[in-house]
Amino acid sequence: MSLPASITLSEAIPGYPTFTVNHATCTARVALNGAHVMEWTPTGHSPVLYLSPEAVLEPGKPIRGGIPVCWPWFNAHPSDASKPMHGFARNRPWTLMEASESEEGVKMSFVLCSDAATHELWPFEFEAHLTVILGAKLDVSLQTINKSGSEFSVAEALHTYLTVGDIAQVTVKGLAETTYLDTVGERTLRHQTGDITFDQEVDRQYFSGGTVVVEDPALGRKLTVEKNGSGTTVVWNPWIEKSKRLGDLPDEAYHQFLCVEAANAGEAVVTVPPGGAHVIQTIISL
Ligand SMILES: O=P(O)(O)OC[C@H]1O[C@@H](O)[C@H](O)[C@@H](O)[C@@H]1O
């Protein structure tokens, strides 16, 4: 497929194709492995997505940072812990189906189809389509199409790593007065009374798909995360000890990022009938 002038294909390492976007509205990088948006920097701003300097770029491995696509399960597999964390979509090579540019930005569409390798992990026939629009805003949508003869359920997340100047000064707005599943330690249902601030590990599944605003005084900016087709918002920061345990993340990296994820997890898993489809979307803007 021919690429528009603002997209170039190169190999970050041999055998690891990435698309680099240089457009009037933004610069960006997207890996074919996982259809993974690694970087997005709107013109005139510093990077919005956090990408770990120790991220491992290897076919079949997830990338620490950017937007991993977690699908068709979220976190550990519900009944088989030997299966990959957060599903297999982020570990598979996707196929680029469309790439175009306009004054507003660049659009890229990727597809992942069921095959012998996915059948070993998940028995269903499917197509997953990831559409990425990179411009002054970042718009990512994941469509699940059920090509099986029976219904299936998917849990999913657009696991967005947002760069922040200093996590201790960040406030996340938009989730006050909601219920969440706290997954640090024993899984416990809790009520969120005010806005979210950070002074310890946070790993929460909010029962809300509403718009979230991340206020970041250290970088002097506010990030807005809009979501559609999402019944869960995951908020995650590993804090000190978990950062040390994650081999592809510097020990002190937790100061500099926060994950706000459009998701469908827990009771919000999505059942897709045969021939049916479901779309989850996140739109990030400054
Ligand atoms: O290290 P992974 O597999 O990319 O997962 C990172 C984190 O992803 C978050 O979404 C989960 O809520 C956390 O529990 C998890 O640790």
Q: Which atom of ligand 1 is nearest to the CA of 205?
A: 12
Sequence-separated (6 or more) residues with CB below 8 Å from residue 148: 124, 125, 126, 274
Give the CATH number of the domain where residue 167 resides: 2.70.98.10
Quote the pTM value. Answer: 0.98
Strand partners of residue 196: 172
For residue 1, pLDDT beyond 90: no
Q: pLDDT tens for residues 180-212?
A: 999 999 999 999 999 999 999 999 999 999 999
63 within a domain of the structure (yes/no): yes
In a domain, 36, yes or no: yes
* Contacts of 133 by beta carbon, 8 Å cutoff, 6+ apart: 104, 105, 106, 107, 139, 140
* 2 lies in some domain: no
261 is catalytic: yes
> Which residues constitute the domain of residue 151?
7-285
Q: How many domains does the chain have?
A: 1
Give the three-state DSSP class for 239.
helix
Selection from 63, 113, 53 nearest residue 250 by Cα: 53
Q: Is the pLDDT of residue 90 over 90?
A: yes
CB 253 within 8 A of CB 259: no
**Ligand 1 contact via 226 beta carbon (within 6 Å):** no
Residue at 104 is within a domain: yes
Query: Which of 161, 162, 206, 236 for a ligand 1 pocket mutation test, highest count of atoms within 8 Å of Cβ?
Result: 236
Is it true that the peptide bond before 72 is cis, omega within 30 degrees of 0?
Answer: yes
- One-letter amino acid at 29 equals R
- Please state the ipTM of this predicted complex: 0.98
Asked if the structure places residue 248 within a domain, the reply is yes
With respect to residue 1, please indicate whether it lies within any of the assigned structural domains. no
Beta carbon of 159 within 6 Å of any ligand 1 atom:
yes
Nearest CA to ligand 1 atom 4: 64
Beta bridge mates, 42: 26
Residue 217 has pLDDT above 90, yes or no: yes
Has residue 13 got a pLDDT over 90?
no
Catalytic pick from 39, 156, 226, 261? Answer: 261
- Residue 44 resides in a domain: yes
DSSP string, 27-83: EEEEETBTTEEEEEEETTS--SB-B-TT----TTS--SBSB-EEBSS-SS-SS-TTS
Is the minimum distance from the CB of 36 to ligand 1 under 6 angstroms? no
Is 267 one of the annotated active-site residues of the chain? Answer: no
Catalytic residue (choose from 23, 159, 226, 255): 159
210 in a structural domain: yes
Inter-residue contact 174 to 260 (CB < 8 Å)? no
Supply the pLDDT for residue 12. 81
Beta strands in 169-249 (DSSP E): 171-173, 178-182, 188-192, 202-206, 212-216, 221-228, 232-237
